[in-house]
Amino acid sequence: MILGITGSFGSGKTTVANIFKKYGFEVINADKLYHGIYDKNKALRNKIKKEFGTLDRNKIKKIVFNDSKKLKKLNKITHPLIIKEIENEISSIKKKFNKKNNKLINGEKFKNDIGNKIKIVIDAPLLIEAKATNLVDKVIVVKCNKNEQIKRILKNKKYSKNEIEQIIKSQVSINQKIKYADFVVDNSRAINETEKQVNEIISLL
**Residue 80's CATH number:** 3.40.50.300
Residues above pLDDT 90, as percent of the chain:
66
Contacting residues for 17 by C-beta, under 8 A, at least 6 apart: 5, 25, 27, 29, 121, 123
User: How distant, in Å, are the alpha carbons of 18, 100, 196 from that of 27?
Assistant: 8, 18, 19
In the predicted structure, residue 65 carries a pLDDT above the cut 90: no
Confidence check: pLDDT of 97 > 70: yes
Give CA–CA dist 146/100, Å, rounded: 43
Q: What is the DSSP track for 53-79?
A: S---HHHHHHHHTT-HHHHHHHHHHHH
Q: Which of 12-16, 95-99, 174-178, 201-205 has the lowest mean pLDDT?
A: 95-99
Q: What is the mean pLDDT of the chain?
A: 88
Q: Give residue-wise pLDDT tens across range 125-172.
A: 999 989 999 999 999 999 999 899 998 899 877 788 888 888 888 888
Please report the pLDDT score of residue 174 as a whole number.
92
Contacts of 73 (CB under 8 A, 6+ apart): 51
Supply the pTM of this predicted model: 0.86
Q: Of the ranges 16-20, 21-25, 77-81, 163-167, which one carries the lowest mean pLDDT score?
A: 163-167
Kindly tell me if the per-residue pLDDT of 110 is higher than 80. no
Statement: residue 11 has pLDDT above 70: yes
Q: Tell me: pLDDT of 193 over 90.
A: yes
Residue 137: other Cβ atoms inside 10 A:
12
Burial environment of residue 115 by CB neighbours within 10 A (0 to 12, 13 to 18, 19 or more):
middle
Number of domains in the chain: 1
Tally of helices (H runs) and strands (E runs) in the chain: 9, 7
For residues 94-118, average pLDDT = 59
Q: What is the pLDDT of residue 80?
A: 94
Range of the domain at 133: 2-204
